[in-house]
Structure 1
């Protein structure tokens, strides 16, 4: 296991953002890791995460102004969903979850996750997270999660969104594209990837997470170079936009971001307060089934 990449820990204390978020705002993409004495890291993980338990996430969200969150199962804990399920129970309605489902997982397991508050399954197209999945296996997964009303979260990067757009359109469950498809922002608002994203949004069944600005930025804090891309997409389909912090920012090749900076970026991406409420409150409430 020594060959696995080890992620740096998040900042011990992010600054308080300047923006005041509307009540019931949702961080629609974040992860938790640990406590490791209760949930040791499994052998099937793809990297070594830093300690980032639910208690630390809750403190961060209280500081930033988020009342709700979507906890996405990460390859750092492999297929051991115990930390996620424990957090869903502890949160008592504060959280929803996104799971990693294997072909060997039973329908009873999926039903258990759904009853606990899981609302989607995630697949990766990135090499360091397992590489491109089998497309027919994804179709089979969609048929298994559809009875529970789940969505499929897709994590890809670069030109993958162009190459996979036709396939994504054929899926018969709602689809969420993570991290603005991790596209190359130097291609600009008229690039092929932007065109593919717009067309997918126009289908009415694809949602987009405006998360991971720190991963897309070429300039670093305060990530101004990501605003033209993110704001153009937010304006294109405001009814299907979600926002996520991506805390605790695993597997970064750049400096660890301050989540206060990322939160303040929301106001530059979506300047209109009503549209911000739509993205942070209304959309996630209906999509993830918050009370």
Structure 2
């Protein structure tokens, strides 16, 4: 089956430079994706976008090029609740990857166990309205209770403006909770303003909450796309990331977000 990429979305960049420093032993790219390939793992009919194909082989080549030891492969919304592409990547990683899946209430215990054996260790709840359709919170809480028995965590992806509405749900989750992309703050607003301060309060009051310092290329409103060697492109995001890292150094994760097709 052939898929046409959504207009305006990018192919992944094929010529990244190497880091100017050696990464620590055991360093993990804690947020990345595989897309398809669509001919092998078709994109979901309900998807909100169609990306370029980005295979496990290309992801693992990037891992080695940058000097990471392992990957956390996060199931992308373009695949819906079909986790075959993610699981396939885990099974071919030679033990160097773990995964985060997207599941529905209908998932069976046997399916969860099979994913666990493949290397899945979390589920992702996506609340970004432009990317997914609404799922009732009671359904998500039921899923969280089931995966908690496996020792998995819950990844939450949401827009900062929606945190007040989602607060009670997030604080009721019975697992470790990992926030995608710093809670997607509006970086036009001040770090000291109420929106970002509410997110910091969320982390301060809940020691089970971790944060991914990722996605500056989509949060930035001043930086040029980091293509063709562009450096220091996302300075407007730095104060937000630095605040999180300084206050919660033992609960911070980092990832490439490869292949970031909507840069």
TM-score by length of 2: 0.89
**Please, which of 201, 207, 210 is the counterpart of residue 207 of structure 1?**
210
Deviations 1:97-135 (A, max 9, x none): 000011111111111111111011011111222244322
Deviations 1:125-159 (A, max 9, x none): 11222244322122111111110011111111131
Equivalent residue runs for 1:134-283 within 5 Å: 134-202=136-204, 203-221=206-224, 222-250=233-261, 252=262, 256=263
Does structure 1 residue 130 correspond to structure 2 residue 141? no
Conserved? CA contact 1:4–1:46, under 8 Å: no
- Structure 2 residue runs of 5 or longer lacking an equivalent are 225-232
User: 2: distance between equivalents of 1:3 and 1:65?
Assistant: 32
Partner of 1:128: helix, strand, or coil?
A: coil
User: 1: distance between equivalents of 2:35 and 2:202?
Assistant: 32
User: 2: distance between equivalents of 1:70 and 1:103?
Assistant: 23
User: 1: distance between equivalents of 2:3 and 2:150?
Assistant: 39
Deviations 1:237-273 (A, max 9, x none): 11110001111113x2xxx4xxxxxxxxxxxxxxxxx
Equivalent in the alignment of 2:228: none
Give aligned pairs, total.
252
User: 2: distance between equivalents of 1:87 and 1:130?
Assistant: 23
Conserved? CA contact 1:162–1:193, under 8 Å: no
- Structure 1 residue runs of 5 or longer lacking an equivalent are 257-291
User: 1: distance between equivalents of 2:13 and 2:176?
Assistant: 34
What's the RMSD between the two structures over aligned residues? Answer: 2.0
Using the TM superposition, give the Cα deviation of residue 166 of structure 1 relative to its aligned residue in structure 2, in angstroms.
3.0
| Structure with higher helix content | 1
User: 2: distance between equivalents of 1:91 and 1:41?
Assistant: 22
Conserved? CA contact 2:87–2:115, under 8 Å: yes
